[in-house]
Amino acid sequence: MSSVRELDEYFEKLKTDFPIFSERPDLVYLDNAATTQKPLAVIEKLKNFYTETNANVHRAVYRLAEESTMLYEDARKTVADFVGGKATEVVFTKGTTESLNMLAYSLGLSGKYKSFVGPLFEHHSNFVPWQRIAHITGLKFYPVKIHGGELSLEDVEAVVKSCEKPFIFSMTGLTNSLGYRPPFEAIVELVHSADGLFVLDGAQLIPHEAFDFKASGVDFLAFSGHKILGPTGIGVLVGKKELLEQMNPFQYGGEMIDRVGEQETTFAPVPHKFEAGTPNVAGAVGLAEALRYVKNAGFEKITQHIENLTKNAIEKLTDIPGLILYCQKKCHGIISFSHENIHPHDLAELLSRLSGVAVRSGHHCSQQQLKALGVSSLCRASFYLYNTHSDIDKLFYGIKDALRWFS
Amino acid sequence: MRPEDLYSDVVMFHYKNSSHKGKIKNPTAEQEGSNLSCGDSLHLYIELNGDILEKVTFDGHGCAVSIASASILADLVEGKSKEEAVEIIQEFYKMIKGEDFNAELLGDAMVFENLKQFPVRVKCATLAWHTLEQLLK
């Protein structure tokens, strides 16, 4: 493994692949948990798709349509390879939120499941859809309490044991508010042995560590393109083929049908039965390019570099008097913090105005998580591959400068 | 856009030294206001003497902009009638929206005249004003 400095130099070079940083040389972008910046290769891919290959997919027989369909299906194969699934298991959606809503509606309305279980630290997109579907269908809804930002296996075990079966368990692989990585591998087994389905929200996990869908044993995986250098508006649902085949579609319309009769309609095979309407073809092609970029950059290197940045940031920020870090045992690429003298909004505003540092402030779409910490708002710095250790210095000095205003 | 445009001396003074912080023991009326998207919440208390806002205080938590704005509002409306307070609130909204407004009524609240340069902070600066408007309805 390369040294901290070697990795920093390596990724500093890669940073030049991202045009936004030459457009805005003073930008210190630390809001990667919200969305990531795009390399030129992805931007060019989108442009080339529209200038050279644009046509609707899976309909027409002319040459251009064939080429766009091939690009779209190649993108599906690239995504499948990236997460260790099969192309027939990959459904393109507009993002994690749509993937999770698709599951909540399709599984929830099927009548097969009696209850839903999920921890309270979830992003609203993996909480509200299930809560809502439970209201509509009468499914029992069991939130699992959290301790600070952590989950205890005993609590999960107790709820899983007592909930009505069969059930759906949905959880994130990495919390977006605190960068806590719950021990989901152990929970997958627990859920399966108790007649449950396991859904993994990979919005934060997939950009941060190599993942193998088949080996993981999870039943479904949802993630977004834009958090892993891809375009906005494209996301993925990966599901075990036999489960996808049993499920009803989420939306109905063109492309997802087989035979349409006056009274009855049959549906296309998976994954197309979940892709009603004209899909985001350019987005899928752009996402595939982003995944190739990540793969070429080296996933192990990325994971290590982000761990190094996180460790460095924790060490530096710990030295600021009055600063509270909300790290659980270990944070992965995401650090939430606050300061006793300054409200998170003011801190984020001053970090931006004084030092060009972009951090998030607010409840991070996770109100129940913040409630468990007893706070209503936090600042969050989150890292990705193009961040360097000099960005951490700028964050450190930026916080100190901001605090001077409020001393 | 410099940080001074938002965190002016007037704003920082009201944020740190507001004489309106705290509860009124037996308020004539009180009202909770919140910006759910950022988690800020403010509780306003008023003591009426006939139609006059004899005393206005607040507690809760929020950023410097929302706290300073609450303090400035309390300064402005204390001693005024309900009707006058509503008029002041309306003039403040006009200023924030960039419309013509009566500057004579707004005193220290004029520090927020440039808030249009900080569009995401508009909801911070208007929280107390919306809350008082609600309370006077």
| CB pairs A-B closer than 8 Å | 49
Q: CB–CB of A363/A377 below 8 Å?
A: yes
Condensed to tens digits (0 to 9), the pLDDT of residues A109-151 reads: 999 999 999 999 999 999 999 999 999 999 999 999 999 999 9
Condensed to tens digits (0 to 9), the pLDDT of residues A249-300 reads: 999 998 898 999 999 999 999 999 999 999 999 999 999 999 999 999 999 9
Phi, psi dihedral angles at A61 (to 5 degrees): -105, -5
Task: Provide ipTM, 2 decimals.
Answer: 0.88
The chain A residue lying nearest B12, using CA atoms, is A406
CATH of domain A43-295: 3.40.640.10
State whether residue B38 sits within 8 Å of chain A by CB: yes
Topology at the third CATH level for domain A4-30+298-405: Aspartate Aminotransferase, domain 1 (3.90.1150)
Q: How many other C-beta atoms lie within 10 A of the C-beta of residue A34?
A: 16
**Is A397 a residue whose pLDDT tops 80?**
yes
| pLDDT confidence of residue B4 | 86
Which residues does chain A have within 8 Å of residue B12's beta carbon, measured at their own beta carbons? 405
| pLDDT confidence of residue A279 | 96
Angstrom distance (rounded) from CA B41 to CA A184:
35
| pLDDT confidence of residue A108 | 95
pLDDT classification of A394: cutoffs 50, 70, 90: very high
CA distance B100 to chain A (A): 28
Architecture, CATH, for domain B3-136: Alpha-Beta Complex (3.90)
pLDDT classification of B40: cutoffs 50, 70, 90: confident
Partner-chain contact A377 B40, CB within 8 Å: yes
Treating both helix axes as pointing N-terminal to C-terminal, what angle do A153-162 and A184-193 enclose, rounded to 10 degrees? 20
Angstrom distance (rounded) from CA A218 to CA B10:
56
Segment among A33-37, A320-324, B41-45, B113-117 with least mean pLDDT: B113-117
| pLDDT confidence of residue A327 | 85
Q: CB–CB of A113/A167 below 8 Å?
A: yes
| pLDDT confidence of residue B50 | 94
Amino acid A89 reads E
Angstrom distance (rounded) from CA A347 to CA A350:
5
Angstrom distance (rounded) from CA B28 to CA B78:
14
| pLDDT confidence of residue A328 | 67
Q: Report the DSSP pairing between strands A257-260 and A265-267.
A: antiparallel
| pLDDT confidence of residue B38 | 75
When the pLDDT of each residue in chain B is averaged and rounded to a whole number, the result is 93
Question: What pTM did the predictor assign?
Answer: 0.93
Length of chain A equals 407
Closest Cβ–Cβ partner in A362, A370, A375 for B37: A362
Q: Hunting for tokens 């290590």 — which residue is that?
A: A304
**Is A164 a residue whose pLDDT tops 90?**
yes
| pLDDT confidence of residue A376 | 86
Q: Where are the domains of chain A?
A: 4-30+298-405, 43-295
pLDDT classification of B73: cutoffs 50, 70, 90: very high
**Is A1 a residue whose pLDDT tops 80?**
no
| Closest CA relative to residue A203, chosen from A2, A388, A370, A36 | A36
| pLDDT confidence of residue A364 | 82
| pLDDT confidence of residue A365 | 86
Which residues does chain B have within 8 Å of residue A367's beta carbon, measured at their own beta carbons? 39
Closest Cβ–Cβ partner in A343, A375, A406 for B62: A343
**Both tokens of residue A283?**
């987005």
- Most A-contacting residue of B11, B63, B123 (CB-CB within 10 A), to test interface: B63
| pLDDT confidence of residue B101 | 95
| Closest CA relative to residue A198, chosen from A162, A243, A143 | A243
The chain B residue lying nearest A406, using CA atoms, is B12
Condensed to tens digits (0 to 9), the pLDDT of residues A82-119 reads: 999 999 999 999 999 999 999 999 999 999 999 999 99
pLDDT classification of A241: cutoffs 50, 70, 90: very high
Which residues does chain A have within 8 Å of residue B6's beta carbon, measured at their own beta carbons? 349, 353
pLDDT classification of A215: cutoffs 50, 70, 90: very high
Partner-chain contact B39 A349, CB within 8 Å: no
Angstrom distance (rounded) from CA A364 to CA A124:
9
Q: What is the largest CA-CA distance in chain B?
A: 44
Which residues does chain B have within 8 Å of residue A349's beta carbon, measured at their own beta carbons? 3, 6, 63, 118, 121
**Is B61 a residue whose pLDDT tops 80?**
yes
pLDDT classification of B1: cutoffs 50, 70, 90: low
Which residues does chain A have within 8 Å of residue B61's beta carbon, measured at their own beta carbons? 343, 376
Q: CB–CB of A237/A274 below 8 Å?
A: yes
| Closest CA relative to residue B116, chosen from B128, B106, B125 | B125
Closest Cβ–Cβ partner in A353, A362, A363 for B1: A353
Q: Indicate if A379 belongs to the active site.
A: no
Angstrom distance (rounded) from CA A313 to CA A302:
16
- Sequence-ordered list of residues with C-beta below 8 angstroms from that of B31, at least 6 positions apart, any chain: B43, B44, B131, B132, B134, B135
The chain B residue lying nearest A348, using CA atoms, is B63
The predicted model gives A333-351 an average pLDDT of 95
